[in-house]
Structure 1
Amino acid sequence: MTVQSEASTAQGIVLTDEAAGKVKALLEQEGRTDLRLRVAVQPGGCSGLRYQLFFDERELDGDVVVDFDGVGVVTDRMSAPYLTGATIDFVDTIEKQGFTIDNPNATGSCACGDSFN
């Protein structure tokens, strides 16, 4: 397991302050302090690859862990290359509420925005 600080994330994932705040709030609601936000890329969707964001207590061999103001973000070694430089944000507007991922590695996405290639 590799642990990085926010300053060294040019090669990894960036979690915005808004997203980190939402993750903290969700963990507080659950009453859990042992969970991290796991970000993974899995085959699927109409464009070939799909993001998965979920809370996880596991530590897998090769995981990359980045701490953002007390919020741990974990990426497995197979997903990490697809997520280099990606920014995870949380939006809360009339039109949309939820986590968004801005990924410079995605060359295209589907119309529904659920998957990328």
Structure 2
Amino acid sequence: MTAPTSNTGVILTEAAAAKAKALLEQEGRNDLALRIAVQPGGCAGLRYQLFFDDRELDGDKIDLIGGVSLVVDKMSIPYLNGARIDFADTIESQGFTIENPNAGGSCSCGDSFN
């Protein structure tokens, strides 16, 4: 069995897809996609943005995972290829996490990378 083809190169875990889908259902929105982007900023040079978006940008890559559309813009693709978005709900942490093999280093706050 071969792995599914990814347009975005980003892995969205089942837990992250389920949480994103639940948040969208809670708001009664089926017109939004989960967008991950890389923007300049933060103490290490680049920072992640993960948010629900209703826009379609020229060059967007889209994957449908667990009933959620995951969108990456064309400028962010090289920085995010192989990145993994997960959702944790434990005593120690709660929220979406991003593991990125392309990050050479990150800041102590965990909000930015290079």
Q: TM-score range with shorter-chain normalisation?
A: over 0.9
CA RMSD of aligned residues (A): 1.3
**Identical-pair percentage:** 69
Map Cα deviations across residues 14-61 of structure 1 (whole Å, 9 max, x no partner): 100000000010001110001000000000100000000010011110
Distance 2:6 2:97 in 1: 18
Large movers: runs of 4+ above 6 Å:
none
Name the SS of the counterpart of 2:5 in structure 1.
helix
Distance 1:11 1:42 in 2: 17
What is the deviation of 1:9?
2.4
What is the deviation of 1:10?
8.4
Distance 1:74 1:11 in 2: 7
TM (normalized to structure 2)? 0.94
TM (normalized to structure 1)? 0.92
Q: Give the aligned partner of residue 27 of structure 2.
A: 30
Task: Give matches, 1:1-117, under 5 Å.
Answer: 7-9=4-6, 12-117=9-114
Gaps of 5+ in 1: 1-5
Name the SS of the counterpart of 1:8 in structure 2.
coil
